[in-house]
Structure 1
Amino acid sequence: MKRIEKIYNYILKNSKHLTKDDILNYNGFTALQIGKELNILRNNVSKELNILCKNNKVIKIKSKPVIYYPRELFEKVLSIKLKDDIREITNIQALINKKEKIEDQSPFNYLIGHDRSLKNQIEQAKAALMYPPNGLHTLIIGSTGVGKSLFANIMYKYAKYKNRLTKDSPFIVFNCADYSNNPQLLLSHIFGHVKGSFTGADFNTEGIIQKADGGILFLDEIHRLPPEGQEMIFYFMDTGSYNKLGETGRGHKAKVLLIGATTEDPSSTLLNTFMRRIPVIIKIPDFSERTLEDQIELVEFLFRQEAQRINKPIKISAEAVKAFIGSTSYGNAGQLKSNIQLACAKGFLNTLNSGDIININLDLLPSNIKKGIVSFSNNKNNVWNLIPNTITIDPNNDMPFEYIPFENDTYEPPFNIYDTIEKRAGELKDKGMTDEDIKSCITSDINNDLNKFYNNLKRNKNLKEGLLKIVDKDIVDFAEEIKILVEGRLNKALNERFIYAVSLHFSSLFKRLKSKADKLNSYVEIPISTNSKEYKIAKEIHYLMEKRFNLSIPKIEIEYLAIILTSIQDSSIQKRVGIVVAAHGDSTATSMVNVAKKLFETDNILAVDMPLEKKPFDILEEVISKVKQVDEGKGVLLLVDMGSLNSFGDVITERTNIITRSIDMVSTPLVLEAARKCSLYDTDLISVHSYLLKDFRAYTMSSDDDNYINDGVIVTICSTGKGTAIKLKELVDNIINTIADYNITVIPVGVKDVNRSINEILKSNKIIAIVGIINPNLGFPFISIEDLINGTGEAKLKNIIKGKNISYTDKNNIIALETLCKQSLRELVTFLNPEKIYPLLKNFIDFIENSLDIGYKNNKRLSIMTHLACALERVILKNELTYNGKSNPLDKLYFDTLKDANLIFKKALSLELSEDELYYMVDIIKEYQLTDTFNAYVTEIPKN
């Protein structure tokens, strides 16, 4: 009997007893097991089993280890028929699920996790919909991005599937947040209104309650309903009748099933009387609370979406899948989607000029996603075998059954990543840039675009909450309405600063009017044209303000409002000076920029690394690209390492019309100070260039943590010189009072003639900071109203008062190096203690320098230390790098030295870097030694 026949007969004979549970638990036949029983080498068994798979005799299950079943038995036990071209299966349960979905077309069966993480929630929903006679009103709760809107939509489809609703029954969606700043308008949309019920109500209008009659009304963000709206809705729930806005009787009837959704705790945001009318509350779990099977399916689904958009196959490693799952936290499925899009964009870029498969592996992922593998390891036990070594997605296969698991398109960027990549690549290629430089430029562009987009999603939520802590909600709501009005009248978009300035101004104005403590008519006359657009809009706002708040407001306020409109337009966009750091070496500029980004969390600074072999033309094109990218309208500061690069400034300005200024002999302290000035205090290009060139002398260590400025002035800029300044002065005084005794005066000035006012103050005072609605750009540290409100401005102000600077110098500053290194390690490592590992890292580098008779600058020491720490972390995780380069016989001295230094870690931590990791270290220390030697040579060349 042939070997292949013996193997097949053995499998058939011993598989007759297998049940469905055995197959689901992966109790099958392995090559090792068969080899032992039949006394055949394992590799020969594997070879024959693969032939049997190809001939459709057995089916392969990709698990750890790989399992085989007779194909006929597998199909019979699971009651399923496989296509002839299917020879291996990744997930048996998923195969069964899809089969069951085909048999049962219930809309809920199309949801990822319908039989696992969402099983109880689906049972609740079915019970609510089927409860006689008309179903039960339901509230869906859960974090942003978990799929509340999707779940409500599936409930509607299920009601039609079960004939509880007709095929024409409506499903009306309404987001209560859209009109939360105007309760009157909100209630009008829900219930309708009659002509003349409020200003602008020119016709009788039906509300969404009427439109939803006979169907389902889904109220998203239901916690944004005002109390009076909740009362009107629960009366409707009780009686089925309602009145339109402006009516006295309740003469309208409708049969509507209500489904609400909220991210908030309903017990603290909704009336108890309202909650009693909602008997069913369904909690949708966060991504982290879903089963691993759900998480894997969701990852596959999202990659399948991207594969079809790109029209290329995608191959994802198991480690990458774990990193994606472990790094998904605040945004649930939405955050996962954005991370996968970023990875696919990078992978797409790598295969731009070929038809190759896109490989998504751990090396491709940014550090914030890579760290997810640690979280995954900590939270998942004994489930690693559920994730195959690789998952391959074919763009030509049909999409799986599952619906897109998102609330809406909030997490969908307003641009096509892949179109952007192809267009940008074509432009750069036409300019003669190399493929590597093109990849570098585009990767940076995509990173910045996506990071800005998703960071804005996280930031925008907190600003209004900070404002509401100091200003009444009615005033903030009114300010938001005014912002919309002004944008329409002026045909110009305004940012949130308008709302801050107007809210604070109105708040202080109303307090003065109600207390009658200050007479507005005592203010000096403000010369402003009554024919200007701003004056006419201010007049309209004045009328609306009196009507809204039932106050008599002096006419002089129209002029103040006009001044606010003018000044806010000028500063409606907070602009910063951009920074581009260009230095020779493979990672010199990047290292310095990364330190600045970590310290200041800024995005207006970019790096251009210049390997010695790179052509000047390519360098210039890359610098121009970065200048365009970082420019916000206030010019760009170029920090370069050689004087010859200074000549780039004129060429860049000529070609881009972007003003630039250059400083050579760049160092890490110079980059840090430039980032601090340009990011924190919104200065102008000329003043920051002059300061860095003439006055900056690197950072010095302060031995006294309480090094306060004993005399100085903080200027607050507002619209009137009083008004908003009273509120600003309170805020600033409160901040000052929390830190220590002080001798600092807060002086308010009006926006009119602000430069003249500040010059007057300077005659007898030292100005240490300016706080307000506009930045006069006089070179002083500036803190905007929004920064003061959202918390970041408080930290800035405290540092200014204390006179604190970032403690770092580039030469012989051990304390600063230690501080920066520990700070970096806290962000990069999980298992190592930065306090304890730092001395070992220092000893390691000291040993190398002494043994090889070389010396590294502090920025290089910092880079080597962080690489070392990450390498040790990889040892702990058993995830060391594999060295793919070619070792040079001349590297033996370096390698032996590193091997000896490696004993430092072995002795102290019982950890030892692998030879592959050491070879990477050889490349790094050689590169840094070459760069430092080259820089030293350049500095010795006479300038003449």
Structure 2
Amino acid sequence: MSNSTKTKQLILEYIESNAAELLDEEELQEGINNFSAQIVAEKFNVSRNLASQYLNELVKEGVIEKTNSRPVFFYFRKMLEKKNERSDFRINKEDYEQSEQSNDVFENVIGHNGSLRNVIDQCKAATKYPPNGLPILLTGTSGAGKSYLANMIFNYAVEQKIIEEDKQFVIVNCSEFANNPELLTANLFGYKKGAFTGADSDNMGLIQAANGGVLFLDEVHSLNPSCQEKLFLFMDKGIYHLMGDNKNWKESSARLVFATTKDPEQALLRTLLRRIPVTINVPDLEERPIDEKEQLIFSFIQNEAKQIKKKIKLTQSYLQTLMSYRFRANVGELKSAIKRSCANAFLYHEEEGECLILKMFHLPENIIAYASFFITINEDEGDKLLFDPSKTKVEDGVEKILLLFDSLLKENDLYMEHKSDNKAFMEHAQKIITKYYDYLMFDKKNKNLRLEAYETAMEKVTEEICSRYKIQFQNNGLIPLIRYLVERGSYKSQIFEWERNEKERIDELYNMLKNKYEYEFSITEDFSEKVETIFDIRVSKMNRIILLLNIKFFNPEIKVQQIMGVVLSHGYSTASSIADAVNKLLDDYVFEAIDMPLDVTASEIGERLQSLVRRRHLSQDIILLVDMGSLEEIYKEISIIPNLNIGIINNITTKMALDVGLKIQNNDPMVQILESASKNTICSYKIIENRVREKAIIFVSETGIETARNMSELFLESLPRTINVKIIPYDYYMLMRNGINDEVFSENEVIFIAGTLNPNIKEIPYIAVEDIIGGNQLEVLHEAFSTIFSVEEMQALQNSMLMNFSLQNVVGYLTILNADKVLELVNNALNILQERLQIQLKYKSIISLNVHLSCLVERLVKKIPIETYFELDVVEREQARFIDACKDSFVKIERHYGVILPISEIAYIYDYFKAYM
């Protein structure tokens, strides 16, 4: 018998044995309270979700019954039937629902058993702690629900009879007194008559008003240090002075709850923080599971329905838009958007008894603008697309996931007990996963549109893994896998607890698959590492099991490459470039690459190679192609790798790698490949004397070669006549990396470089596009063309360039978007950014930034942002203020175009501002 079956049987016996002891109606009514999922979970030391799952399975089997109350109670069916035969007593579930209401106000909070479970547990613990509870600090962004939670803490204390019903919940918004701290002090602690001008009578203060109750200090970061210090004595001993009376002590047992949107370590005195033992972070709306967001939407709509006394329904596009939109002001903004859309719908609602229908165009304009990029508005969507919040049941995603996990573990239990074979296990496992995928793809009513971003990122990972290991995901099998990973990430805390309780069973299944499918397991580990890096999530053992099974389902037979090729070269990306070029030419993933710094040691090379071999350990041999260094030293470091033949070839070239790769594809023996490569390594030379280099002008842009090409075309249009000078659009980052040694300089006599950002080639003059636009520093042009154009032609060139390179033309030419709108939004963003940073940029810099930011917007819309930046981690660590300011200034652009500004792009914007920071 499996562990899960044993536990379920013990739960049934527990309910049966306890129910048998309930002899009369009164005992039965009291005793049934011992059969909730929470009580059973504590009794058998399992998670509440798992206990609920077992209890509901027993209900489906017809062995026990359950009530419709909150919380749900379970009772033994057969014993009740016998009792009912002896008396007129019956349990009516509807009556029980009326009589048994929740005795915990927190159970009415959406997310109490989900994302807010740990938050609420901490609130309860701090509230119950004797004698007067513990001070609580609630942190989180604006609108996350801190004030609501503080009120629930007070209600919970009253409900639990910790606080008397006649005591008060007193709210103080400290930000209202930010400019008058003395007034706040007077209001908090009270004052004696005559303590200050205007103090015409004694005032006992808010601390006294909250005596025996709760004092909620919202936006506590607005308290100045002096006011914070005045709280110390009260927090330590419960005593304080009235303002103007330093002789007499006052007492109060008010419980303190604080809230802040700032980092407490930065905004509050450490001496105050030491006196607040419980700090609770309230998660953002976007951090909470998608089903909780849906519950919040339905709850807010039902509240509006009660208020206006009308039934409210909503269309699919309305719900989908709310589910997909990122509410920066959290739950508060979501609630406001719903109230406003109800008001918009009610404005044109005339019939008395007619149901109010919420459609997408009833939402606030900023939300509609965001949604219009993704959703087609249908004014007449039909009744079949209407949702009734009062009747619509929100799917519990975590229960679906736990059912998926438990079903797989049960199949493994049968396999380990020799009640099924491996073939049966794999067939049943595929059916279980497919059923869950069907739920994700078809049963869930709403698709979060941001899944598209995850799908795009995951496609890149999968493409690399599939190419490397010669596997595939057929028939869009990747999409449900991505949605599973996203869905699972929404329930981290609950699933973590379940996995902890089921650790032994998970390990058993994990090890079985690891031993039986060694190559698939190796792919899974590589896949998992990349997913963890890109999505910043922990890929647990259950996740890896799902990944492995997916790989096996879609790839019943995987061919293992007998020889693994590895290119190892010194430099930033030399090895990667060679390996990538050869793999593309061969249309196969033959070579791995290891890029090493110039000062790397042989032992470090050995460590990197050993790590690579552990990941691709099923290849029988390795051919290592190195650029330079001692073969003997490298050999010593890697010769310790067991059960693997290793061949090393020195002085690697792309041609050599291609020849070796072809032979690896043909499955030639390793010795034959090495001998052939050694014989074909022939060095030859040729000198080309008196080569005449053509004159050339280079255009570059950090936004890409396409932008450089567009600028070169604008320049060609400006020339008064055709000239014998090449106009070359060139890769900015290649110039930055190679400098004057780049081949473009050896092949051409470059007159000057023009563009949007200086590549800093000291030997070649540079002219910026913003200088062309502003008509400044055109000496470079005059000097370059002095022997080519006459004075009249030079003037014509300058006039044409000023016209063609005007800001409006450049932006309109460089972007696929409406130039006027782009410039409007970019200018707005720049103004906000300068204001936030308290910087006034020069006109020249503003022109340059207008071009740069317009191109940036285009890249984001095309989904081809710049993703790399040298020392990005340093910028993130040291320029957090600039990053926050940049994100805030780009809010309108992000919402208008439905894009997100990545940190790497912000780093390049920062380069423009360096001189002013």
**Larger CA Rg, structure 1 vs 2:** 2
TM-score (normalizing by structure 1): 0.33
Alignment TM-score, normalising by the size of structure 2: 0.34
